[in-house]
């Protein structure tokens, strides 16, 4: 995508589309796509990527597999690049400004799809940003892939009351797996946890297993079908 990408459309696109959203620090690159019809559900998932300081973008392979899993399950999707990632404007802000980028993306989805359930999903840093904002954005479901417990403060976050899935590799080389497991064990209302053995942070050779774990969990929480 280049700076010549189209501005955000006036309605949710009826096919795969790339465009820019108006963000608090400038334009945000975005990609939307539709679940297959018939069988689509009345829900839209907003998906967030890893840390841009480490090269994370909305085209990361875990993010794209997460998006595919949700779309195959019946949800329409929106991915976007946080400030400083790809062609999105602005400077990296350690999760603070990125939270406002997420809020802008959610505001656009809610304007386009006011009756949809809102799902938030993220990988690594993206899972921190979505968890950090799930309560204030009133998410209807949350999916956290490799949440970076110990790298960003999780203990003081307001935790969602909505359905929540965490998928964690047991051999993650970036995030300490036991720190994640201990954090979850200490929560009054813990998420459903899927522990994936012999799996590192980027799910090398395990992306299809990740897809299966997400699609299995999603089935019990999907909103009604679109009319």
pLDDT grade for 2, boundaries at 50, 70 and 90 = very low
Name which of 187, 193, 186 is nearest 167 in CA terms.
Answer: 193
Q: What is the 3-state secondary structure (H, E, C) of the chain?
A: CCCCCEECCCCCCCCCEEEEEEECCEEEEEEEECCCCCCCECEEEEEECCCHHHCCCCCCHHHHHHHHHHHHCCCEEEEECCCCCCCCCCCCCCCHHHHHHHHHHHHHHHHHCCCCEEEEEEECHHHHHHHHHCCCCCCCEEEEECCCECCECCCCCCCCCCCEEEEEECCCCCCCHHHHHHHHHCCCCCCEEEEECCCCCCCCCCHHHHHHHHHHHHCCCCCCECC
* pLDDT of the residue at 12: 97
Residue 201: Cβ-neighbour burial (10 angstroms; 0-12, 13-18, 19+): buried
pLDDT reading at 1 higher than 60:
no
pLDDT reading at 129 higher than 60:
yes
Dump pLDDT digits (tens) for 30-74: 999 999 888 899 999 999 999 999 999 999 999 999 999 999 999
- pTM equals 0.96
pLDDT reading at 139 higher than 50:
yes
Instruction: State the residue for tokens 């603070």.
Output: 96
Domain 11-218 matching CATH 3.90.180.10: the answer reads no
- Delimit the domains of the chain by residue range: 11-218
């Amino acid at each position: 995508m280049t700076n010549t990408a189209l501005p955000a459309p006036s309605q949710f696109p009826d096919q795969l589309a790339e465009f820019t959203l108006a963000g608090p620090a400038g334009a945000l690159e975005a990609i939307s796509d539709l679940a297959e019809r018939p069988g689509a559900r009345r829900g839209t998932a907003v998906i967030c990527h890893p840390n841009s300081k480490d090269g994370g973008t909305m085209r990361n392979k875990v993010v794209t597999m997460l998006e595919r899993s949700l779309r195959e399950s019946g949800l329409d999707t929106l991915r976007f690049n946080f400030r400083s990632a790809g062609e999105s404007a602005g400077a990296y802000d350690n999760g603070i400004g990125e939270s406002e980028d997420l809020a802008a993306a959610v505001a656009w989805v809610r304007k386009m799809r006011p009756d949809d359930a809102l799902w938030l999903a993220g990988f690594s840093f993206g899972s921190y940003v979505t968890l950090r904002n799930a309560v204030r954005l009133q998410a209807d479901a949350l999916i956290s892939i490799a949440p970076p417990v110990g790298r960003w403060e999780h203990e003081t976050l307001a935790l969602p009351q909505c359905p929540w899935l965490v998928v964690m590799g047991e051999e993650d080389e970036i995030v300490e797996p036991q720190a994640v497991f201990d954090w979850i064990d200490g929560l009054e209302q813990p998420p459903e946890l899927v522990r994936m053995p012999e799996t590192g942070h980027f799910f090398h050779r395990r992306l299809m297993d990740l897809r299966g774990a997400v699609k299995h969990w999603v089935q019990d929480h999907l909103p009604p079908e679109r009319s």
